Amino acid sequence: MALQTQNENSKMLESELVGSFEDAIKYGYIYAYYQPQINHSTGRMIGAEALMRWKHPIFGVQMPSDFIPVLEKNNLIYRADIHIFETVCAFQRKCMDEGLNIIPISVNMSRYDIFNTNYVDEIEAIRRKYDVPVRFLRLEITESSAIGGTELITKVLRELHEYGYTVEMDDFGCGYSSLNILKDLDVDVIKLDMAFLSGEIGGRGGTILSSIVQMTKWLNTPVIAEGVETLEQADYMKSMGCNYIQGYLYYKPLMEEEFLNVMQKLDHEPLTPAMHLIQMLDTGKFWDPNSMETLIFNNFVGGAAIFTYSIETGDVKILRVNRKYVKEIGMNMNEHDMIGHNPWENHDADSRAIYEGVMKRAIETRDEEMCECWRNFSSDCCGDDKICIRSYIRVIGEAENEYLFYAMVQNVTAEKRHQAQLFEDESRYKTAFEQANIYAWEYTIATKEMRPCFRCMRDLGFPPLLKNYPEPAIEQGIFPPEYADMYRDWHKQLEAGVESLEAIIPLTVGRVPFHVRYTLEKDENGKPLKAYGSATLVVE
Ligand code: C2E
Ligand code: CA
Ligand code: CA
């Protein structure tokens, strides 16, 4: 054995590892680090994983990737795993004795452990010895446990479940037959390692998406994303309905003391199934890059986005947009940049209130709801601009206090500006009428309904629609009694097809003379449809 300084870690040979194993167990050179698992949406802790470390008094810290294969090869892994299980139980016991709020801890199981028929009974005996409630212990198995057949692992799973343990499928997606294995094995949690997915997010992203397609088939199984190093990865996983994160982004594996601090500092919450997606959407297909749904999302639906909305905080986060969305909004961004964007930045308080109102309505109705909002945009090149977006939104998934929305958008700025122009034109028209002292109305023959102009409404107090015309106007005393029957008769004549009528009639309480006229409109068969009435002040 070469002599080394204690500060330097150096890799040990297989024979050195095997030779020092007994001492390592005996003196606690093999021990556990703990890596917290966090709900990315709430920041609360959902559990932790115990990771084996070996610190040799001379060679220093050894990493699992170097010594675990050696232990497996030399039939020592079983004892090492049992030792870690006991270490974890002792840790939980100590925390409970100190009155601390403990969290479930996952312990790794080697695929070789299941060959030892005592494994389940042995860990159960340890758990009882330390009297740790079973819900605070989880076991991680890997797909490789099923190599050579699922019989043995199925039996172990059944026994673990009988005792009440939660079993996690570790490294899901790394094997070739992930799908089949998952179908056969009754696991409670899936751990998806980012390293097995495509490193690139948002780009071609096919690898990630197809893994997610598999994942969504077990939507009622919680999924923990492992090896999450960046916020982008975490947000992306969240977009898949997977909020649980274990990785350097939050914490590296921590030594016991540090872990204890984190465990006390953070709030805890239970592990629950991933975001529940509403049935109407075939979720598997929806995330599949080759599916018809995705083709539709990208090409046929126009601008569309998927975003989350938190009832608690009011936060909105964009998870996915298609190309047309970016084009429709006209932003100087690509689809990738839009992910994680906070759209409230572009809303003023009024338009935000409108949009939030419609989201709440959509949550209630579970139906498509529409709203129009003006949004502000500013860029270096174009300065400040306002655009009007019409959105049709619908809830497609929900988790606790958080909803997943699907929105189709249309940029209706041009339409709105055109309408505003029309309105302005109309008001000019109205002003012209006012100056000419003309009152106008429209009479529908079949229904005897009269629609007055704005001025009639204002000056005569008419509602927008008068039924059984002309009776209400006569009752109101606008016509002198001696003209009332003549005026009633006019409407009969119009009904009979008389093309036009006119007379000077003193109107209103002031009995001011007006030139009153009617012009009849007929349909293509000559049947009377509408009559257009007008009253012009006679200027003497
Ligand atoms: P694993 O079970 O998949 O454990 C996760 C590994 O990913 C850990 O490596 C952890 O430190 C690392 N990791 C966590 N977050 C990140 C991240 O954000 N980025 C990257 N690049 N890595 C991250 P570790 O501790 O070196 O363990 C490696 C493997 O050794 C484990 O992979 C597991 O297969 C095995 N192992 C560890 N402890 C035990 C044990 O007690 N028993 C058995 N049988 N195997 C163990
Ligand atoms: Ca693991
Ligand atoms: Ca893993």
Instruction: Please report the pLDDT score of residue 2 as a whole number.
Output: 46
Q: Is the peptide bond before 470 cis (omega within 30 degrees of 0)?
A: yes
Cβ within 8 Å of residue 409, ≥6 positions away: 302, 303, 304, 305, 325, 328, 329, 389, 390, 391, 392
Instruction: Please report the pLDDT score of residue 38 as a whole number.
Output: 97
Which residues place a Cβ less than 5 A from the ion ligand 3? 170-171, 193, 226
pLDDT tier, 524 (very low <50, low <70, confident <90, very high otherwise):
confident
Instruction: Give dist(CA 235, CA 34) in Å, integer.
Output: 23
319 neighbors 239 (Cβ within 8 angstroms): yes
The average confidence (pLDDT) of the chain is 84
Residue 490: alpha-carbon gap to chain centroid? 63
Q: Say yes or no to pLDDT of 322 above 70.
A: yes
Instruction: Please report the pLDDT score of residue 212 as a whole number.
Output: 47
Q: In what order do the strands lie in the sheet with 438-444?
A: 449-452, 438-444, 528-537, 512-522, 500-507
Residue to mutate, 9, 31, 108, 229, ligand 1, most ligand atoms under 8 Å from C-beta? 108
Instruction: Please report the pLDDT score of residue 208 as a whole number.
Output: 44
- Which amino acid is it at 300? F
Instruction: Please report the pLDDT score of residue 184 as a whole number.
Output: 74
Average pLDDT over residues 262-274: 88
Instruction: Please report the pLDDT score of residue 216 as a whole number.
Output: 45
Average pLDDT over residues 431-455: 80
Average pLDDT over residues 357-379: 87
- Give me the count of residues in the chain: 540
Answer whether 197 contacts ligand 1 (Cβ < 6 A).
no
Q: For residue 52, which atom of ligand 1 is closest to its CA?
A: 38
Which residue's CA lies nearest to atom 4 of ligand 1?
Answer: 51
Cβ within 8 Å of residue 377, ≥6 positions away: 330, 331, 346, 384, 385, 386, 387
To which residue do tokens 């953070």 refer? 266
Answer whether 227 contacts ligand 1 (Cβ < 6 A).
yes
Q: Say yes or no to pLDDT of 275 above 70.
A: no
pLDDT tier, 4 (very low <50, low <70, confident <90, very high otherwise):
very low
pLDDT tier, 207 (very low <50, low <70, confident <90, very high otherwise):
very low
User: How far apart are the CA of 306 and the centre of ligand 3, in A?
Assistant: 29
Q: Say yes or no to pLDDT of 482 above 70.
A: yes
Please report which ligand is nearest the Cα atom of 37. 1
pLDDT single digits (tens) 32-90: 999 999 999 899 999 999 999 999 999 999 999 999 999 999 999 999 999 999 999 99
Q: Say yes or no to pLDDT of 175 above 70.
A: no
Kindly give the pairing relationship between strand 223-226 and strand 383-399. unpaired
Name the more confident of 313 and 126: 126
Answer whether 110 contacts ligand 1 (Cβ < 6 A).
yes
Q: Containing H/E element for 246?
A: strand 244-246
Instruction: Give dist(CA 391, CA 407) in Å, integer.
Output: 6
pLDDT tier, 235 (very low <50, low <70, confident <90, very high otherwise):
confident
Instruction: Please report the pLDDT score of residue 279 as a whole number.
Output: 45
Q: Containing H/E element for 225?
A: strand 223-226
Answer whether 51 contacts ligand 1 (Cβ < 6 A).
yes
Instruction: Give dist(CA 508, CA 435) in Å, integer.
Output: 19
Q: For residue 63, which atom of ligand 1 is closest to its CA?
A: 26
User: Residue 314's closest CA among 276, 352, 275, 260?
Assistant: 352
Q: 3-class SS at 470? A: coil
Instruction: Give dist(CA 334, CA 342) in Å, integer.
Output: 15
Instruction: Give dist(CA 244, CA 314) in Å, integer.
Output: 21
Answer whether 84 contacts ligand 1 (Cβ < 6 A).
yes
